[in-house]
Amino acid sequence: MKALKNISGDRIREARIGRGKQQIEVAVEMDLARTTYADIENGNRPVYDRDLKLISRYLDVDVRWLLRMDGAEVPVFPEKNKGKKRIR
């Protein structure tokens, strides 16, 4: 598997919050520990291509958008999730 180091954890976090999901929900869906998923969002862990595809499918965002590539479809998140704060 190839590790992608140029992935922006900020984009993954933005998509997760935009979809109204908690870290634990995404981690369970991906069969990861929540701390492992948190490390991906915080940029402390590389993302493997398989995991990136799973994240993009689960959060319904274009992989190219997560990678900050040109020509990517910009996701539209429900208004109710914009500005949502994380639960501690």
Is 45 domain-assigned? Answer: yes
Average pLDDT of the chain is 84
What is the distance between the alpha carbons of residues 54 and 56, in angstroms, rounded to a whole number? Answer: 6
What is the distance between the alpha carbons of residues 81 and 17, in angstroms, rounded to a whole number? Answer: 7
Is 83 domain-assigned? Answer: no
Is the model more confident about 87 or about 17?
Answer: 17
Number of independent structural domains in the chain: 1
What is the distance between the alpha carbons of residues 15 and 61, in angstroms, rounded to a whole number? Answer: 7
What is the distance between the alpha carbons of residues 88 and 83, in angstroms, rounded to a whole number? Answer: 16
Q: State how far the alpha carbon of 26 is from the alpha carbons of 5, 17, 70, in Å.
A: 20, 11, 26
User: Using one digit for the tens of pLDDT, what is the confidence trace for 36-79?
Assistant: 999 999 988 888 888 889 899 999 999 999 988 888 888 888 87
CATH of the domain at 52: 1.10.260.40
pLDDT at 78: 81
Is 9 domain-assigned? Answer: yes
